[in-house]
Every structure is written in structure tokens, then in C-alpha cells.
Amino acid sequence: MPSLTILLFLFFSKFSAASDTITQYGSLEEDKTLVSNNGIFELGFFTPSTTSSNRYLGIWYTNIPLRTVVWVANRESPITDNSTKLSINSQGDLVLSHSNTVIWSTNTTTTTGVLVVAQILDSGNLVLRDDKDTNPENYFWQSFDYPSDTFLPGMKIGWDLKKGLNRGLTAWKNWDDPSPGDFTGFISQTSYPEEVMWKGSTKFYRSGPWDGTKLSGSPTLSNSVVSYTIVSNKDEFYATYSTNDSSVISRLVLNQTLYLRQRLTWNNDGKTWRVSSQLPSDLCDGYNICGAFGICDVSKAPMCRCLDGFKPKAPQNWTQMNFHEGCVHNQTWSCMDKTKDGFLRFANVKTPETTFSWVNASMTLEECKNKCRENCSCKAYANSDITGEGSGCVIWLGDLLDIRIMANAGQDLYVRLAVSETENRHGNDHSKRKVVVFASTICSAIVILLISIFIYWSSKRKTKVKGMENESQEEDFEQPLFDLASVEHATNYFSNHNKLGEGGFGQVYRGTLPDGREIAVKRLSQTSTQGLKEFKNEVMLCAQLQHRNLVKVLGCCIQHNEKLLLYEYMANKSLDFFLFDSSGRKLLDWPKRHRIINGIARGLQYLHQDSRLRIIHRDLKASNVLLDDKMNPKISDFGLARMCGDDQIEGQTNKVVGTYGYMSPEYAFDGIFSTKSDVFSFGVLLLEIVSGKKNRLFHPNDYNNLIDHAWGLWREGNAIQFIDSSLEDSSILNEALRCIHIGLLCVQHHPNERPNMDLVITMLNNENILPLPKEPSYLIKDILTSRKSSCKSLASFSVNNVTISMLSDR
């Protein structure tokens, strides 16, 4: 740049705000800004908070109406007076100061004798350079080397040993406070580097190491707009990216409140930032979800299993979806006969945590195997570079942590097993194949023999069982039969005084048996012929179900025209009595609500997965969740439940029963029910429990329901407003927000997108990252407009909490 310009800048710098440069003898006052040459970025002073007057020097986009700050200079030392200015001192350092107090400064070793200028570039980089030298290599200092929470195109995130730099991201403390917060993201400075994100000193994500083509756990960084480059050599390791289309404004930010790094892209039509991707992106992305020697697979339920040859360390916890303890060798493994140990190949995995790994880029895979075998601490090996045929060697010393299946990416990992274990599996050692084949021939022979014996035995047994079933179908339900007279006596002849309420298909009475036990009696309405089938169904089912979160059936009574079902009495009625009542709600503090949510989830999980039968409840709602004297939730009313065969996970009916407001769209309109329609109802219930509000009347003119409301607030980042105001304690915030998030995942439109109950329980009880929910399309208005023709009769229903039955008019 000609020095005339500099002189002009010198002259105007006090007056003009449209400059992009300050020079050694000029300065930037508080009310002025620098704007980059093409007007893309602006450097100036700003106040992030509405409650504090703290000011900071920062860089933001000039043309984006929501002020989006991408870099802050004095993160830890806010400006509190109003006479601070930015200038370049005689050593050539950029200094933020008032009077003679330095608030913030750069620390360069600039040679004197040149005119130093500070310039804000169109990339968002603030650089200190020799006035006459624009070569980036020669910058004395640049803000890109000291990122805040934002990774802009052209920035290098990673380390440079020669320059002594380790560039990483550190989130803001919170919305109002740019000082360094808990969340950080850095590239590990090891021989086998990977990106790691932390909350405080806890890892919550790792990218997997560079395998020559990609980071092993981040399948596709680049897309049509953004293209990444990773540079890896002995002095440097960094990631950088560029945007292909200059009209696209995109940035990566470490979120200050969520365990996330998000790519945000500016949407000029909507005038908002849109999240275009995020990390971690699914549950298996969370750090070390399955513990040591575990492997995570999002497409499976449960998502964690042990590597072949390993078994859960704490089986009890493992079945409760608590995977933290991880796995141990299935057989006692010692390194006695290490030269004979075999290796089992796992394909398409994100390779384990690299802290205790060792790399040699010139070894072959075979050498690598031998290297691993030599050292008893070595638990696995792999190629360090998978380009082409693969090359190099990495071995892992110590527990294998944080392995997951990558759908279409990942690489091969060879895990060490005792020789006996690999022999029984299809190990990759060709030399052992023959043995395996031979052994398996013998095995199959034995298996066939065993199967024949079993078939013979069970066919004999079956006829016996069948006989019994036939008997029980007639009269006996394997339940104690109660005598009508004693039930009448217990309930004071079904007096109104004893009436507890009205359930599906009949009324419910309270009673006391002669032995003092308190009971609830459901009396099937005599006029309802329709209910008989459901009644029998319920009795049959209940006979076989036992879980602490399901109401216990004590027995039944079928005599004359009475059909009665006897339950244990629940001292605290049902959840709706508390939840939808202003004083009742106050009694439900958050720990109680959280316990109730968990209890319902476990009850439902039992119905769906754990009980011998697969049962779909079909009418889960607040009034069907009963509470005992200790406020433990118990799911009731199985009159509508449907059993499915083991592999049948979906059914269709032309008789839709259930309760509007809790019904999933595919069930309400197409009669298709599955465990996922129960998950939908659970989601609604979850939102009700957190908000203390009822999902409103199904009414054609009422376009707002609880789901819309929750979604709207959540999307705007205001989900806090959704939480019941009688839950004042802010310590619950994270858990409550998490429940809203899970609720929204459960009410997604497509059944396949909803989590199953295993996953729901995992999500409720771990701090893992949750996937982003899709917009629920159970918006009454959409359904009414799109379904008007086929579902005319729906609009005439204005019932909500009353169980209804209707014939779908297809």
C-alpha cells in the first residue's frame, strides 16, 4: 500500500470509521470501528450483556443484523470505563488501555525499525504486520492464532510446535460473558493426534485420529460448500476449511451451554443462523459411552455391547443401561502364552482413544501385529494410514476406550484375544481356518443332535401345555378368583361413597378386604358388551406381568353379570390429580417428577422389551399412571394393550382406541400402532410432567397444543420458559431441559425417528449428547388441512381426557 494512504489514514483515523487499519501512531476510540476492505467484518467495542456494562473489544460480521461476535480480545479483563482505546505501542504491540493502565495486549517480539499496522481482513483475521509487507507468513501477530469460540474459514485449528502455538476453541462462559467457559476443544498433542472436546476436565467427544483420509470418527467433514483440509507432519497438525461459495456465511462454534460444536450457516431469508451440523451428532458420539472394551452401535438396542471375547464387568448394571463399567475378558486372560495370542478384526470402527498409543508410520501390518503381540500391554493394533492398501502401525497400550461403529466409514481394528477365543470365532488368521472348519463340523453334528432332542422333548411338553391353556381359556385365569359377595361387601355394595373414579370401560371403587388389605375394584360396565374382550385381555395380560412400575392385579371375579378386576389400592390416586391441579402440582417437586418419569419409562420398557410378551399399551396418559403412598408411579389399564408376537413389532387395527392428545399421528389416522406409538404418548406425558400443563383439547379452532408450544420455545432457545413455574429451584434446570429435549424426540412425526424405551432410559440417566429432534408435525392444523377429506368425523370429537373408541372411516 502506498504510504500516501497511510498518511491519509493517519490523518483521518480520528474521524473516519470506514478504515480497516490503525497504525503505530494512531488509535481506535471506543465509539469507532474498523471495517474490513469489502465490508465483511468489523472490529470495535461492544457490550454483550443487558445487565452489565462490561465492554469488550471484538470482531463481528458487519452485515448480519444479529450481532454475531466471532472473536474477543480481552475475554478475561472487561473494560469498565469509557475512555479506553486501542493503539499500537512503540514496541509494535497492539494495546488496549485507558490512561496508563494496560487492559490487554499482544505479546510479540517485533523488530523495531518498521512501521507496524493493525488491519482487519475480510477473513475476520486481525493482523499486526509491517506496513509494507502483506505476506501472511510474516505477520507479527494474528487473531486467528488465538481463537475464541469460533472457527472461521481460513483459520487453522491445531498445533504448531515451531511457533509454539496450540490453537483451540474455548466457549464463552454464558450468553453475557465472553470469558473462557467450561467447554473447550483442542487437538491432542500426541504422536497420533485427534480432536478432543472437554467440559472442564471431562472429555465429551473425540474425533478419532487422522487415518490419512479423514478423522476416523468424523465420516464426512467436507460437503458441496465446505471443504476441509487436514495437515499432518511432525511439526504441525491442524484442520482448516474453506467455503466454496463466497455468498455462504458459515462458521463453527463451540456452544457455551450445550455439549456441542455446531456449524451455523446464515440464512438471509429467515435472518437467522441455522444449525447445519453438529458434533457430537448422535448418542454413540458421546465419549466412551460403552466403557472399556465396549462398542457402541446406534442402530442396535441396546446400543452398547462388549467386543467379542469380552463380557460386561457389571452385568447387573449393564442390563440397566448403565454401561460405564465397560467390559472385561470373557475368560481369564493372562499374557502367559503371548506369542500364540490371536487377533480378531473389527471392521468399520472409530478407533479407540489414542492417549496410550504408539505409532510407527513405516511398519507393515504384519510387523505391527508382531509388535503388538510382543508387549502384554498391547490390546489392539491397526494401520495408521488407510490410504490405498493401508500402511503404518499404531498399537494401543491399555484399555480400549470409546470404540464405535461408523456406518460407512471407520477402519479395521485388530483386537487381541487369547488363542482359544479366536479359534472359536472366525478370526482373520488364515492358518487357523482349517481347524475352525473341522471343529465346526463336529459342533454342528452335536448341535443337530441337541436340537432333535429338544424338539422331541418340547413337542411332548407342548401338548401338555396346550391342554392347560385350553382349560384356562374357559374359566381359570391363573388369578385368584374372588367371590362376588365378598367384593360387594368390601366395596359397601359399590356405594357411591366408595367410588374412586371412572376408568376405561367402567367404574372404579375402593374397598377393604376382610383381611384388611385395601383394594381398588374395576367394575366393567354391564351395558358395555364391547368391553368384555378387553376385560379378558387385561386379566390375561396382568396375570403374566410383574414389574414394580405396573399396577399389581390381585384377582378377578366373573359372576352373574359382573366382571370385576381387583387391583392393589393406590393411595395417591393418579398422576393427573396432582399434575393438573394448582395446589397438587406444588407437591410434585422435581426429584419426585424425575422419579415418576423414570418409573413410567421403566414400566413401559418392561412392557415393550423385557416381559416375555411384547405389549403395546396404546393408552398411556396421566390418568393411567397411578401413584402409591410413596408416590411411586405404576402404569395401569391394560384393557387396551395389545400383544404382539416376538418379531411382530407393528400392528394395524380398524378400531382405534386411545386418547386424543396422546395418540401418535400414524395411530390416530391410520390405525397403525407399534411400541413407537407408546413412545409418542410417553413423550406427551413427559412434556406434561415438566410443564405441569395438559396437552390441550383437541379442537379444530385451537391450533396450539403442548407439543407446538414446547417445540416453538425449544427451537428459539427458550425452553426454560416451558418448565412448570412451581419448580423454582434452578438446580433442576439441566435435567428438566433434558426431559423436554427427550420429550421432543419422542413426539417426532416418523415412528422410526422416535427412540425406543431402552434408549429413552439411557438418555434420561446419562449426560450424553442428545440428537436434535425433527420438527414434530403433529400440528393439529397440518393434520386437519391435509386430512380433511378422509377424516371428516374427527372434527366432531371434542373429547380429550375421556377414553374414546372410534371406527376409523377408511
Ligand X SMILES: *[C@@H]1O[C@H](CO)[C@@H](O)[C@H](O)[C@H]1NC(C)=O
Three-class SS state of 481:
strand
Beta carbon nearer to ligand X, 253 or 579: 253
Q: Cell numbers of 352, please?
A: 479407540
List the one residue out of 207, 221, 192, 174 whose CA is nearest residue 52: 174
Provide the edge-to-edge strand list for the sheet that holds 403-405.
304-306, 294-296, 403-405, 342-350, 411-417, 378-382, 393-397, 357-360
**Contact at 8 Å (CB) between 344 and 308?**
yes
Contacts of 542 (CB under 8 A, 6+ apart): 479, 553, 565, 638
Three-class SS state of 149:
coil
Beta bridge partners of 95: 87, 105
Using the structure block, give the residue that is written with the C-alpha cell 497420533. Answer: 192
d(CA 670, CA 673): 9
Beta carbon nearer to ligand X, 334 or 377: 377
Beta carbon nearer to ligand X, 375 or 495: 375
Integer CA distances (angstroms), 520 to 270, 517, 568, in order: 56, 10, 6
Beta carbon nearer to ligand X, 332 or 529: 332
d(CA 346, CA 516): 61
Using the structure block, give the residue that is written with the C-alpha cell 450457516. Answer: 265
Quote the strand ranges of 484-602, DSSP E: 499-503, 506-512, 518-524, 553-559, 562-568
Binding site for ligand X (CB under 6 A): 82-83, 107, 224, 227, 244, 253, 255-258, 262, 306, 308-309, 311, 314, 317, 322, 325, 330-331, 360, 362-363, 367, 375, 377, 397, 717
Contacts of 470 (CB under 8 A, 6+ apart): none
d(CA 100, CA 115): 23
Contacts of 483 (CB under 8 A, 6+ apart): 557, 559
Q: Can you state the angle between helices 757-765 and 675-691, rounded to 10 degrees?
A: 30
What is the number of helices (H) and of strands (E) in the chain? 16, 47
Contacts of 338 (CB under 8 A, 6+ apart): 373, 374, 376
Shortest CB 676 distance to ligand X, Å: 25
DSSP 697: P
List the one residue out of 39, 41, 13 whose CA is nearest residue 28: 13
DSSP 217: T
Beta carbon nearer to ligand X, 231 or 258: 258
Beta carbon nearer to ligand X, 306 or 747: 306
Beta carbon nearer to ligand X, 279 or 656: 279
Amino acid at 555: G
Q: Can you state the angle between helices 757-765 and 590-605, rounded to 10 degrees?
A: 150
d(CA 786, CA 774): 19
DSSP H or E stretch at residue 742: helix 733-746
**Contact at 8 Å (CB) between 553 and 565?**
yes
Beta carbon nearer to ligand X, 50 or 362: 362
Point out the annotated binding site for ATP.
522
d(CA 726, CA 583): 10
Residue 210, CA atoms < 13 Å, CB-side half-sphere: 22
Measured from the Cβ of residue 143, the count of other Cβ atoms closer than 10 Å reads 26
The number of angstroms, rounded, from the C-alpha of 170 to the middle of its chain's C-alpha atoms is 22
For residue 418, with 0-12 CB atoms within 10 Å meaning exposed, 13-18 middle and 19 or more buried, which class applies?
buried
Shortest CB 315 distance to ligand X, Å: 9
Point out the annotated binding site.
522
Residue 619 annotated as catalytic = yes
Quote the strand ranges of 572-690, DSSP E: 614-616, 625-627, 633-635, 642-644, 650-652, 655-658, 672-674
Shortest CB 515 distance to ligand X, Å: 38
Shortest CB 134 distance to ligand X, Å: 25
**Kind of pairing between the strands at 41-46 and 56-61:** antiparallel
**Which of 619, 678, 724, 758 is an active site residue?**
619
DSSP 489: H
Beta carbon nearer to ligand X, 362 or 796: 362
Torsions phi, psi of 593, nearest 5? -60, -40
**Kind of pairing between the strands at 294-296 and 403-405:** parallel
Shortest CB 770 distance to ligand X, Å: 11
Beta carbon nearer to ligand X, 332 or 796: 332
Beta bridge partners of 727: none
Contacts of 352 (CB under 8 A, 6+ apart): 380, 396, 400, 401, 402, 403, 413
Q: Which residues are catalytic, by number?
A: 619
